[in-house]
Structure 1
């Protein structure tokens, strides 16, 4: 994969993320804030973006998203398939919910 292909993939990922974020925010803002790991001000800003602004922001050559966790324990809970997978996912969600937005940034 060359650099142009990589940048095109980043733009596609950004566009998909922004469109999904807007849909989530418009459907249920409190749930979207939790699921996206953003604060209210960012949610309001994303919700108000026009289509042209979304396209312009998506065209940035940097990823707009990042992992919400730096803790390998949380990653392990999400990726390891144990007997009770749902319990592992719930535990990871509880741990991530306990993190403030400032810790995520």
Structure 2
């Protein structure tokens, strides 16, 4: 993949992310704050963007979304690394969700 292809992918990801975020915020604000890991102020800003503004913001070369799971514990829980798959998968995902929910509350 060359540099231009990467920039095109970033722009497409930005557009998809902003459209999804705006839809989530407008449909269920509290769920959107949790699922997107954003603040009230950011949610208000995204919710009020016009289609033209979304196009302009998404056309940049910087990825707008980022991974919220930035530690080994959460990644280990989500991937069930080193554990039998079937029995622990749902419990591990639930544990990861609880950790992320707690982090969302700390950030809010």
> TM-score, normalized by length of structure 2?
0.88
Structure 2 residue 69 is the aligned partner of structure 1 residue 65: no
Give the count of matched residue pairs. 102
1:47-86 to 2 correspondences below 5 Å: 47-80=47-80, 81-86=85-90
- In 2, the alpha carbon distance for the partners of 1:82 and 1:66 equals 29
Partner residue, 1:9:
9
- In 2, the alpha carbon distance for the partners of 1:55 and 1:101 equals 28
- In 2, the alpha carbon distance for the partners of 1:101 and 1:37 equals 8
- Per-residue CA deviations over 1:30-60 (Å, capped at 9, x if unaligned) read 0000000001010010000000000001011
> Where do 5+ consecutive residues of structure 1 fail to align?
none
**Partner of 1:23: helix, strand, or coil?**
helix
Partner residue, 2:32:
32
Partner residue, 2:93:
89
> Where do 5+ consecutive residues of structure 2 fail to align?
none
**Partner of 2:97: helix, strand, or coil?**
helix
**Shift in Å at residue 12 of structure 1?**
0.3
> TM-score, normalized by length of structure 1?
0.91
**Larger Rg, first or second structure (1 or 2):** 2
